[in-house]
Amino acid sequence: MERPESVGDLTEILRQGGYLADRGLATALFVSLNLQRPVLLEGEVGVGKTEVAKVLASVFGRKLIRLQCYEGIDTNQALYEWDYARQMLHIRALSERQLDSDDAVDKLFGPKFLLERPLLEAVRAGDQAVLLIDEIDRADDEFEAFLLELLADFQITIPEIGTVKAATPPLVVLTSNRTRELHDALKRRCIYHWVGYPSAEREVEIVLVREPGASEALTRKVVAAVHRMRSLELAKPPGVAETIDWVRTLDVVGATDLDAQSVDDTLGAVVKERDDLELVRANLDGIASGG
């Protein structure tokens, strides 16, 4: 698909892909696409940060390449690795005489034995890909510094093979739950957008896009109840993902209305912390009906 012509155009394309972006998010993504700058999405849990990268890949017919960050992730796991097992097998298959030649050793560190990891794959795919660097806040400082360098020139040097460079960079979406502050240098390279909770009206729309079979009246009540929960200072406030799960759960158990009993029965779909459960259970009537 071609590039969107305007923010409104992009919003509509995303909507057709099942994602409802507000104006701020759509603008950040539009700028990112046009200026070929990475976009950094920070925000609450379960508000659609990861999903938007998936939908972007799907609506633009690009390949989604995902780098899931975690504590201790290192450059090998992100860039490339040598396939030791195959190298060993190959060595064993060679005769003594063949092993002596320089050529044989060179081959061992050639493309045949290279395992592509997400970042190398993304540099090779260039603008045919959406690179999702998910939960960058979980990686450590050094990894962040390394990423910063990569994002600057989209170039990877493999000593044994040479340099690979993207002709046109992929669309890069970074996400963070803000478990730690990211470096200014990384932020400066990106277009930044904070993804907050949607308004109640918008959240109803999102649920109905994702669950077209859901009852609108019940969805409205569920969304209102979730919004009341978010104002309770829970340790883990429910995200949009939980709202959708809750509507599905109510449907499965055959609940057609939201009252103290049906909230209590299905609470495990929305609240997943013991202390939070107690807090919510102490307010059941208010949460179910707003009374």
Residues that bind ligand ATP (CB under 6 A): 19-20, 45-51, 175, 177, 206, 209-210, 240-241, 244
Partner from Mg ion, ligand ATP, none contacting 45, C-beta within 5 to 8 A by type: ligand ATP
Pick from 191, 185, 249, 257: which is nearest to 220 by CA?
A: 257
Length of the chain, please?
Answer: 291
Fill in the amino acid letter for 107: K
- Among Mg ion, ligand ATP, none, residue 266 binds (CB under 5-8 Å by kind): none
Asked if 219 is part of the footprint of Mg ion (rule: CB under 5 A), the reply reads no
- DSSP readout, 179-200? SSPPPHHHHHHSEEEEE-PPPH
- Residues β-bridged to residue 162: 158
- Give the DSSP H or E segment for 206: helix 200-210
Select from Mg ion, ligand ATP, none the partner in contact with residue 207, using the beta carbon and a kind-dependent cut-off of 5 to 8 Å.
Answer: none
Tokens 């201790």, located at residue: 72
Q: Does 50 bind Mg ion (CB under 5 A)?
A: yes
Partner from ligand ATP, Mg ion, none contacting 171, C-beta within 5 to 8 A by type: none
Minimum CB–partner distance for residue 241 and ligand ATP (Å):
3
Rounded least distance, CB 285 to Mg ion, Å? 33
Beta-bridge partner residues of 203: none
- Residue 128's identity, in one-letter code, is Q
176 binds Mg ion (CB under 5 A): no
Smallest distance from ligand ATP to CB 140, Å: 19
CB 62 within 8 A of CB 129: yes
